Structure formats: structure tokens, C-alpha cells
Amino acid sequence: MLQIDNTIISLDFLDEHFVCNLNACKGICCVEGDAGAPLEEQEIAAIQEILPLIWDDIPETSKEVIRAQGISYIDTDGEAVTSIVNGRECVLAYQDQKGVWLCSIEKAFREGRISINKPISCHLYPARVKQFKDFIAVNYHRWSICNCAVESGNKEKVPVYQFLKEPLIRKFGQAWYDQLVIAAQELKKTP
């Protein structure tokens, strides 16, 4: 484990490799799982605010769920998560012409129509962040549907922390990420 400020980071972030391969996995992480994507409190309000701007990108089945129960619910762990359609895909997900599941929020963000990106829990994947009383745990989550991302990461030799540079900076800040890079470089020197 590695500590930066009040975060405890799994060394897997430095040792393991990961690069999403949407051509192989088809974005199935937006569909599989036992609940929706975890949401931070401020994200719920932000998503509700931008909902009219992404409404046309959302499938009709998702719109029905949103009309009935909203964009989020409380899961069995007592945490807010995105609503899901029939126990499957996130209400914010849509399929493109190639059958790849993508995020309607990220699409609008990349197109410059909105100023917020997809939920941080999605942006950070395969990282899982958990707040404890005195620290924040940052762990590498392994999921079989992402085996193609591990293969791509190994082939391209991209450590998890480098793949997640943008969302890690978004979550923890540039100074935090700079410390992570220094730690990775120093630990690489250690036999």
C-alpha cells in the first residue's frame, strides 16, 4: 500500500496494466453488475440539472425508468447509484451504431454541450474509491468483463495509474497525481 495525504492506494495501480478496449468489450460495464454506478451527492443534483440537455441521447426504456423513479436510487449498501433498466443497463447509457454501450453524459461533455463529465465512479474505473473515517481507500477492481482491457494494457505496457490519469486528477487533484507518479518512479527503482 501507498499513502498520499489521506488516501491509501493499492500498489496494483503501479504494477498492473489496463487500457479499455471498447471494440472488444462493447462497454458492457454500463450493463453488467448488481446495481447502478455509485454517485456522489453533488453528482445527483448536477445530473438532474443537465438531464434536459442529454434527454435526446437517452433510450426510451431509460426515459421510462427516469420518469418513474428518477436518475438514482439507494442500493442494498445504502449508497446512491444510477437507476438501471430491468436490472441491467444504466439509465444514462445508450448503444451506438456498432452496438457499443456509451454514456450520454460523456457524449454531451465531449461534444461541448455540458461542462460536467460522467459520474466519477465510472470515470475512475477500474479504481474503486471508498471513504472511511480517517482515510480514503483507492483500490484496483478486477472484473472478468475487463480481461480485454488487462490484455490491452499489458500489450501497451500502460500501468493502471497512467490509464486513469485524467479521472485521478479530477478526483484528487494534480498535486496528488504528481506525488503518485513520483512514488511509482521511486518504487520502480527499488529491487
Q: What is the pLDDT of residues 44-78, one digit of tens each?
A: 999 999 999 999 999 999 999 999 999 999 999 89
Instruction: Tell me, yes or no, whether 40 and 61 share the same domain.
Output: yes
C-alpha grid cell for residue 158? Answer: 500502460
Find the mean pLDDT for residues 97-112: 96
Judge if 150 and 185 occupy the same domain. Answer: yes
Averaged pLDDT, 134-160: 94
Alpha-carbon torsion (108, 34, 101, 127), positive or negative: positive
Coil, helix or strand for 130? Answer: strand
What's residue 143's pLDDT? 86
Question: Cα(98)–Cα(165) distance, rounded to whole angstroms?
Answer: 27
104 and 141 co-located in one domain = no
Question: Is the same domain home to 161 and 91?
Answer: no
- What is the amino acid identity at position 98? K
Q: What is the pTM of this model?
A: 0.90
Shared domain for 59 and 149, answered yes or no, is no
Domain match, 30 and 111 both: yes
Does the pLDDT of residue 105 top 90, yes or no? yes
Could you tell me which residues are beta bridge partners of residue 90?
84
User: What is the tens place of the pLDDT at every residue in 117-138?
Assistant: 999 999 999 999 998 999 999 9
| Whole-number Å distance between alpha carbons of 130 and 106 | 23
Task: Looking at the structure, tell me whether residues 40 and 100 fall in a common domain.
Answer: yes
CA atoms within 13 A on the CB side of 165: 8
Q: E strand or H helix at 73, and its extent?
A: strand 72-74
Q: For residue 102, what are the domain limits?
A: 26-124
184 in the same domain as 173? yes
Q: Which residue has the cell 482515510?
A: 135
Residue 191 has pLDDT above 70, yes or no: no
Residue 71: CB atoms within 10 Å: 21
Q: Count of alpha carbons within 13 Å of 3, Cβ hemisphere only? A: 4
pLDDT range class, residue 33, cuts 50, 70, 90:
confident
* Same domain (yes/no): 137, 182: yes
Residue type, 167: P
